[in-house]
Copies of this chain bind each other. A is one copy, B any other.
Amino acid sequence: MTRFELDARLAADTEEIGVLPLSRVLLMKDSTYPWCVLVPSRPGIREMHELEGGDQQQLMSEITAVSSALQREFAADKMNVAALGNQVPQLHVHVIVRYTTDPAWPTPIWGRQPVAPYSPEELQQQLARIRAAFENIPGFRSRL
């Protein structure tokens, strides 16, 4: 059985926040939005419906826990959750904080703005902030 390996493009565009029982929890390196990505660590999965039933349920638990924690921590106006995968087929679920004042509002964020990188300092601050926000999510751990 093939081992799970994070897609190279996802690895390049993100920094790891930590892990949940099923998913890697990643921060998209675009400072425009607080933007997390969950990647279930199962090889060869492109669609949520390809996961086994127990993993589907676990994924939903993880999505909602992350979404709820981000909404609270960042005082989101709205959460956006999406599994698209047109460019990177490895199943990955975006969980994004939206504000009515953000540059893409009210449209979805993809392709609306060039990526605005974090400075190294901002990146560490954002990671620390999100790790703290996630510390009570069952099974969450940072692998630092």
Contacts and interface: CB of A to CB of B under 8 A. Distances in A.
Interface of A: 46-49, 51, 56-57, 59-61, 63-65, 67-68, 71, 78-87, 89, 98, 105-108, 110-111
Nearest to A77: B86
Interface of A is mostly: mixed
A139 to B, nearest CB: 16
A3 to B, nearest CB: 24
A81 B78 contact: no
A72 to B, nearest CB: 10
A81 B82 contact: yes
Contact of A61 (B56, B84, B110): B56
